[in-house]
Amino acid sequence: MLLTVDVGNTNINFAVYDGNEEKAFFAITTKIARTSDEFSLWIDGLLERNKISSSRIDGCIVASVVPGIMHSLVNGLIKLTGKTPMQVGPGLKTGIKVKLANPREAGADRIVDLVAAYELYGGPAMVIDFGTATTYDLIEADGTFRYGITAPGIRISANALWNDTAKLPEIEIKLPGSILANDTVSSMQAGLLYGCIGQTEYIIKKVREEAGLPSMKVVATGGLGKIIADATDAIDLYDRKLTMKGLQIIYKKNS
């Protein structure tokens, strides 16, 4: 079985695959102040809850955008499985060509998402990840990653709204029934979500124009991505497990 691990700024997501079949998916919050023993204990407990023995894990791959967590996490995975996990970074085969001004600046999660989108859905394609930040990454027909746009994530924008204003409350992030809001909560929801929809549609439109790719496919992922994907025709499909699928693909390419 393969254990895939996606370390984000907010959560660490785990998936277990038996061949191509997903057997488990679970998450913990991202906290740097965990020891390797704590990681090993947490992950082992969550595997057991899903009726999977850690002894059945014969491979592991990790993509991380939080360097400070990696020493403890990697050692925790070694203690749990007895194997050193593969880490997404320079030197691994991905099947895509990174042609950014500084390729080492590309986050591992962005590379993994592009690998999955390109392998599963083809190119040219834009991958939009509605995570802690919202990223818009373009992969060309030949598998080249040359352009990416980064914007504040929906939750970051929401936190700024209620933390930096004296009278605005913390709210549930959901699409209100109408953009014509007449109370504080729905007005905040409308501004956050319809504002994000407008941003998404405009960025897709401008990328298509400037890149000369009118038929570019648009794939969305990330925790809050389904809200946006369901509300606009500009997104072709939403794949919640895109990152995990990409990790599985990269692991196979390098095994």
- What residues are annotated to the active site? 109
Burial of 165 (0-12, 13-18, 19+ CB in 10 A): exposed
Beta-strand runs (E) in 65-177 = 86-87, 97-98, 125-130, 133-139, 144-152
Q: Are 116 and 242 in contact (CB under 8 A)?
A: yes
User: How far is Cα 120 from Cα 168, in angstroms, rounded to an integer?
Assistant: 43
Q: To which H or E segment does residue 157 belong?
A: helix 154-163
Q: To which H or E segment does residue 244 belong?
A: helix 242-254
